[in-house]
């Protein structure tokens, strides 16, 4: 039996590419976006009363990771990318139906759109449903997961002499907490877990409309080299 679903909206996100997106929501509170609803959900009626919630669940599609053949096992980054686990034991993007879920902060409700923060969603992500977060039901005090019992350890992020003023300038232009976004995302160490790059290798990613470039002067330290308009 087959079922069909249609998006209720699409996310306009600070993340323009998959690289450097935090692997879980809330790890980068400065990550912001807007969920733009589509008809018939864009009139305001569908979100009436949602302003009473501080957070919402988003059910969405990993639209750039959809696969024709389901994977039974995946290699989660949390385990270094070299250990296989059953797909249902992980939150890997390679899902049987491409469905993801995230809890994000609801900053503001407007007719036809929701302003969000703490997101981990790529720009253009199709959202299938929105549900209010209910603390007494959604937070289980005795819950455990031995594979992911604590947040990933953050690594140090430092700035070159020119990069920090560049970031502040673009932050002012965008009206976004760009410095905090860069620090929070890079502190999660976006390189593949199994990779130890040479110090001279330069990485880059696009946040909003700026390119951020950095390297690893030491294995556990990031140095932001420049923040320039794309």
Tokens of 103: 């809890």
Pick from 26, 46, 21, 27: nearest CA to 36: 46
Sign for the CA dihedral angle at 186, 152, 12, 99 comes to positive
Q: pTM of this prediction?
A: 0.92
Mean pLDDT across the chain: 93
pLDDT of 226 over the 90 cut? yes
Q: What is the pLDDT of residues 112-171, one digit of tens each?
A: 999 999 999 999 999 999 999 999 999 999 999 888 778 888 999 999 999 999 999 999
Task: Assign domain 156-229 to its CATH superfamily.
Answer: RelE-like (3.30.2310.20)
Which positions ≥6 away from 46 have C-beta within 8 Å? Answer: 8, 37, 40
pLDDT of 196 over the 80 cut? no
For residues 28 and 15, the answer to whether their CB atoms sit within 8 Å is no
pLDDT of residue 80: 65
Fold of 9-138: Elongation Factor Tu (Ef-tu); domain 3 (2.40.30)
For residues 94 and 87, the answer to whether their CB atoms sit within 8 Å is yes
Q: Read off the DSSP letter of residue 125.
A: P
Domain ranges of the chain: 9-138, 156-229
Q: What is the pLDDT of residues 61-90, one digit of tens each?
A: 999 888 888 889 988 776 666 788 899 998
Distance CA 97, CA 8 (A): 17
């Amino acid at each position: 039996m087959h079922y069909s679903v249609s998006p209720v909206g699409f996310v306009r996100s600070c993340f323009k590419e998959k690289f450097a997106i935090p692997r879980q929501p809330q790890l980068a509170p400065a990550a912001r976006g807007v969920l733009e609803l589509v008809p018939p959900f864009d009139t305001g009626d569908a979100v009436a009363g949602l302003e009473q919630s501080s957070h919402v669940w988003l059910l969405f599609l990993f639209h750039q990771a959809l696969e024709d053949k389901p994977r039974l096992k995946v290699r989660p980054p949390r385990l270094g990318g070299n250990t296989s686990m059953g797909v249902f034991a992980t939150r890997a993007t390679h899902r049987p139906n491409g469905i993801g879920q995230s809890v994000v902060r609801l900053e503001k409700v407007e007719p036809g759109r929701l302003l969000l923060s703490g997101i981990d969603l790529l720009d253009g992500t199709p959202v299938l449903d929105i549900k209010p977060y209910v603390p007494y039901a959604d937070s289980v005090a005795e819950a455990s997961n031995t594979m992911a019992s604590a947040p990933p350890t953050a690594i140090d992020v430092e700035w070159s002499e020119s990069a920090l003023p560049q970031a502040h300038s673009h932050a002012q232009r965008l009206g976004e907490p760009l410095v905090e976004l860069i620090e929070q995302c890079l502190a999660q160490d976006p390189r593949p877990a199994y990779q130890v790059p040479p110090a001279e290798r330069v990485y880059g990613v696009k946040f909003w409309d700026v390119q951020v470039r950095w390297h690893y002067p030491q294995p556990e330290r990031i140095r932001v080299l420049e923040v320039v308009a794309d």
